[in-house]
Amino acid sequence: MSKPRVWVSRPVFPDIVDRLRDVFDVHAETEERRYSSNEIATRLADADAAIVGLAERIDADALAGARRLRFVANLGVGYNNLDLDALTAAGVGASNTPDVLNETVADYAWALMLAAARRMGEAERWVRDGQWKGSRFEGWLGADVHGKTLGILGMGRIGQAIARRAAGFRSPVIYHNRSRLDPAIEHECGATYVDKATLLARADHLVLVLPFTPANRHVIGEAELKAMKPTATLTNIARGGIVDDAALARALADGTIAAAGLDVFEGEPQVHPALMALPNVVLSPHIASASRDTRRDMASLAVDNVLAAFGQGPHAGRPPTILNPGVLADA
């Protein structure tokens, strides 16, 4: 009997992908590229499983000819590229990569926040440009991070990991979330729940950790930026589209807020040209989870999910991070 076929949409650590080979005929792409929806549909049409990245949109069109497909594993915790309803309707299981990246993404959120507050991007460019001829005592003044109020919008597992790091900086933490956390978790994170208006008004450094949903589109726009302190920084390690990038560029240019650290953008890999032109924004190419260990853990979790969906591997029959478990129960 021929093996089921898995499509891996992008180059992923070969030794981890090799774990699929006993069970699957593996079709692993060897270069990074953008696929049109037709190309995705064609590849899914003769696949039994797929491992995809955020750039691959898996919706009803992509699934239309995918008669054999049983499982799609997403290489990311955010899965706004997956139309979960369409997958479920087609009887296809789907998984993401929660938890394994929490601490790495939290590290990076702090790195971006610090870089924005202390003007590290600007300063580095200045040194590389050969402009460092002497030092001015009042030069390069940035904002302190220690002891300042950290605001977190979206207090899931990554938000909590960001909050826990604040103790070392002696920074009070305020947060806003759809629902308030259990008091024991609030206590462990040292975080105080506030409404969104209070969060915007009081945060010295605001970090966004929301999933991208239609309701979260442009959650931070002109009005929200105006509600922040002129000395505040904004850090986004969640998704582009949560922030209105054009409004943010205006706010950074006219001093509505002081600086921003951005790992994600509306329409990435394109970056709004007005953001590109500003000195007071640190730009980063969606790499918050990109430590060697964490990217390996994410790939491994995706492979575990696919194997499990086909009754193999350490979690046989129970994909550990399946998003629509009802699909397997119905199978």
Q: Which residue is nearest to ligand 8YV (CB)?
A: 76
Distance separating alpha carbons of residues 252 and 255, to the nearest angstrom: 5
**Smallest separation, CB 285 to ligand 8YV (Å):** 9
Q: Of 69-77, 122-130, 164-172, 189-197, which segment contacts ligand 8YV by CB under 6 A?
A: 69-77
Instruction: Determine if 289 is a binding residue for ligand 8YV (CB under 6 A).
Output: yes
Instruction: Determine if 101 is a binding residue for ligand 8YV (CB under 6 A).
Output: yes
Instruction: Determine if 16 is a binding residue for ligand 8YV (CB under 6 A).
Output: no
Distance separating alpha carbons of residues 74 and 233, to the nearest angstrom: 31
Q: 157-164 and 102-117 helices cross at what angle (nearest 10)? A: 60
Of the candidates 259, 219, 214, 212, the residue with the CA atom closest to the CA atom of residue 238: 212
Q: Of 60-68, 71-79, 127-135, 249-257, which segment contacts ligand 8YV by CB under 6 A?
A: 71-79
How many CB atoms within 10 Å of residue 34? Answer: 8
Instruction: Determine if 53 is a binding residue for ligand 8YV (CB under 6 A).
Output: yes
Q: Of 76-84, 169-177, 225-233, 317-325, which segment contacts ligand 8YV by CB under 6 A?
A: 76-84
Instruction: Determine if 98 is a binding residue for ligand 8YV (CB under 6 A).
Output: no
**Nearer CB in complex with ligand 8YV: 54/246:** 54
**Nearer CB in complex with ligand 8YV: 81/256:** 81
Please give the single-letter amino acid code of residue 154.
G
Residues annotated as catalytic are: 239, 268, 286
Binding footprint of ligand 8YV, residue count (CB under 6 A): 9
**Smallest separation, CB 53 to ligand 8YV (Å):** 5
CB 81 within 8 A of CB 38: no
Among 202, 250, 286, 296, binds ligand 8YV (CB under 6 A): 286
Q: Which residues pair with 281 in a beta bridge?
A: 260
Instruction: Determine if 76 is a binding residue for ligand 8YV (CB under 6 A).
Output: yes
178-217 binders of ligand 8YV (CB under 6 A):
none
**Nearer CB in complex with ligand 8YV: 4/159:** 159
Of the candidates 224, 177, 233, the residue with the CA atom closest to the CA atom of residue 205: 233
Structure tokens at 254: 């006219």
**Smallest separation, CB 255 to ligand 8YV (Å):** 30
Instruction: Determine if 77 is a binding residue for ligand 8YV (CB under 6 A).
Output: yes
**Nearer CB in complex with ligand 8YV: 103/122:** 103
Instruction: Determine if 84 is a binding residue for ligand 8YV (CB under 6 A).
Output: no
Q: Which residues pair with 49 in a beta bridge?
A: 6, 71
**Nearer CB in complex with ligand 8YV: 114/210:** 210
Angle (CA) 305-306-309 rounded to 5° is 85
Angle (CA) 25-37-270 rounded to 5° is 110
**Nearer CB in complex with ligand 8YV: 70/239:** 239
Q: Helix, strand or coil for residue 206?
A: strand
Three-state SS annotation for 299-316: HHHHHHHHHHHCCCCCCC
DSSP string across 1-58: -PPPEEEE-S---HHHHGGGTTT-EEEE-SS--PPPHHHHHHHHHT-SEEEE-TT--B
What lies within 8 Å, CB to CB, of 103 at 6+ separation is 161, 294
Among 4, 78, 142, 313, binds ligand 8YV (CB under 6 A): 78
Instruction: Determine if 261 is a binding residue for ligand 8YV (CB under 6 A).
Output: no
Instruction: Determine if 54 is a binding residue for ligand 8YV (CB under 6 A).
Output: yes
Residues within the interface to ligand 8YV (CB under 6 A): 53-54, 75-78, 101, 286, 289
